[in-house]
């Protein structure tokens, strides 16, 4: 599958690692969210992470980033008005800027402004997409383009689901989620995302899900390593998420919302990542609008849609 990835056409392969274009000073970008259209936890790895198989799907819900090359050498600043977004080295965008500067020997200043549209702590990949887009934006601004392997190495060092945002569209995630392989796009769907306003600790969700795995007979999952267990590769499928068992037990209101969305006609409804957001796919925007009225008062509803890979790449650098 590696050769399939390397042969996939895309703008990221347009230039060599040291081919430089004239410097630009400011760039505005979209950082799109993701959902998990199926997620299987296969077991704990020797490195302490969990082996997973998942299908990522990018959606049109997005943050906006403005990345500038500052005049002050070595300066790095990340600004965001949302109080839920950490500052300094606690921000993944800040760490992306540091990592890229060290890797590329860049001594100029960098300034990033983030306008959040993706709710933090929702399982929609908001911090990861911002970090990935920061890497892409710095390449575009400086003219220092990387090949996919070098770009992927930087993204994977930042987080397990950062690399998927280098591709966009529908993506198979393996390993701890950082091994990414482009899948063919499925027909577009209206997508309703429902966020309850609280976050779920991913580390705690993995701990609880992992303990449940050890309670199963070993034969129940050991044969799945290296395979694609019960994932909807050729269709949207049932999008089963192994985090639901532990997350829904703690927050049954999330399970109730999922059931309501299915009864409202959703083709697929699921927790995304470890939560706390729940999403649903509908064949029409009218169905999605009707379903949005069934969500609890005070919860945030986002009416959006899936993005194909071509659309994702085209819109990254939109205004």
| Lookup: tokens for 180 | 């990414």
Known catalytic residue at 258: no
* 89 shares its domain with 218: no
* 112 shares its domain with 150: yes
| Lookup: tokens for 216 | 């199963």
What distances in angstroms separate CA 201 from CA 33, 119, 122, 207, 248, one per listed residue? Answer: 18, 15, 10, 10, 13
Please, what are the averages of pLDDT over each run of 10 residues along the chain (319 residues)?
42 42 81 96 89 96 95 88 92 97 93 97 97 97 94 97 98 95 95 97 87 50 45 76 95 97 96 96 96 96 98 90
* 30 shares its domain with 136: yes
Quote the pLDDT of residue 23.
Answer: 67
Three-state DSSP state, 97: helix
Catalytic residue selected from 34, 63, 242, 258: 34
Structural domain including 19 reads 2-184+308-315
* 162 shares its domain with 194: no
Say how many CA atoms lie within 13 Å of 304 toward its Cβ. Answer: 22
Q: Which of 264, 294, 299 is nearest to 281 (CA)?
A: 264
* 29 shares its domain with 165: yes
Known catalytic residue at 25: no
Q: In the sheet where 190-195 sits, what is the strand order?
A: 268-271, 278-282, 190-195, 300-305
- Determine which helix (DSSP H) or strand (DSSP E) holds 261, and give its type and residue range: helix 252-263
Q: Report how far apart the first and last C-alpha atoms of the chain are (Å, whole number).
A: 35
Count of structural domains within the chain: 2
Catalytic residue selected from 130, 161, 242, 258: 161
* 154 shares its domain with 261: no
Quote the pLDDT of residue 180.
Answer: 97
Bridge partners (DSSP) listed for residue 240: none
* 37 shares its domain with 108: yes
Largest interatomic CA distance in the chain: 60
Predicted TM-score (pTM) above 0.85: yes
CATH of the domain at 220: 3.30.70.890
Quick one: DSSP state of residue 306?
B
Q: How far apart are CA 304 and CA 119, in angstroms?
A: 14
CATH of the domain at 175: 3.30.230.10
* 261 shares its domain with 143: no
Length of the chain (residues): 319
Three-state DSSP state, 288: helix
Quote the pLDDT of residue 74.
Answer: 79
* 177 shares its domain with 203: no
Quote the pLDDT of residue 4.
Answer: 41
* 245 shares its domain with 163: no
Quote the pLDDT of residue 128.
Answer: 98
* 153 shares its domain with 232: no
* 146 shares its domain with 216: no
């Amino acid at each position: 599958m590696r050769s399939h990835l390397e042969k996939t056409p895309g703008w990221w392969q347009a230039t060599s690692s040291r081919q430089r274009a004239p410097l630009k000073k400011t760039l505005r970008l979209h950082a799109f969210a993701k959902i998990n259209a199926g997620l299987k936890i296969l077991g704990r790895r020797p490195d302490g992470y969990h082996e997973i198989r998942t299908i990522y799907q990018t959606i049109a819900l997005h943050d906006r980033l403005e990345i500038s090359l500052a005049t002050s050498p070595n300066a790095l600043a990340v600004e965001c008005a949302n109080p839920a977004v950490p500052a300094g080295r606690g921000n993944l965008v800040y760490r992306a800027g540091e990592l890229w500067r060290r890797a590329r020997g860049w001594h100029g200043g960098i300034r990033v402004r983030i306008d959040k549209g993706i709710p933090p702590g929702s399982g929609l990949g908001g911090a990861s997409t911002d970090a990935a887009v920061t890497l892409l934006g710095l390449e575009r601004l400086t003219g220092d383009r990387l090949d996919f392997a070098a770009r992927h190495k930087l993204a994977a060092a930042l987080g397990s689901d950062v690399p998927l945002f280098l591709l966009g569209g529908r993506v198979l995630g393996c390993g701890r989620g950082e091994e990414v392989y482009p899948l063919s796009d499925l027909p577009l769907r209206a997508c309703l995302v429902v966020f309850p306003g609280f976050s779920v600790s991913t580390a705690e969700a993995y701990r609880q899900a992992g303990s449940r795995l050890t309670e199963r007979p070993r034969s129940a999952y050991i044969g799945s390593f290296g395979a694609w267990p019960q994932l909807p590769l050729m269709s949207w499928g049932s999008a089963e998420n192994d985090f639901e068992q532990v997350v829904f037990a703690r927050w049954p209101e999330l399970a109730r919302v999922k059931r309501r969305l299915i009864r409202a006609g959703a083709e697929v409804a699921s927790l995304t990542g470890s939560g706390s957001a729940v999403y649903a796919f509908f064949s029409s925007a009218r169905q999605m609008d009707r379903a949005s009225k069934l969500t609890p008062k005070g919860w945030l509803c986002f009416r959006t849609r899936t993005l194909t890979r071509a659309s994702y790449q085209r819109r990254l650098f939109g205004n």
